[in-house]
Structure 1
């Protein structure tokens, strides 16, 4: 995950979140991108979560 490095190197960083919580509600050890690098926050309470599925071909007989 290169998100923190990309945010630090960028001029403008936008984060998309599912929920906005009170200050202190999250453990700082689980924060990936420090807020000092974030200029905008976009709330998306119901994001479409696309999960890749691996499909295996059946062996030729």
Structure 2
């Protein structure tokens, strides 16, 4: 999941990623269940690697992650 977020951030050369689709759709695109994606994002958030809102995820420290 972190690799995907880094990839998305590099496309826009930014640390905040705004999604134009639901996390359910992103999970399907990645071949994950929505529950697995949610758990992965929760873990990254708990570890301080990301912060998130409904359709935005901000990478906190790209070099340390």
Q: Tell whether the structures are fold-level matches, with TM greater than 0.5.
A: no
Greater helix percent: which structure? 2
> If you compute each CA radius of gyration, which structure gives the higher value, 1 or 2?
1
**TM-score (ref. length: structure 2):** 0.24
Q: Which has the higher contact order (CA 8 A, sep 6+)?
A: 1
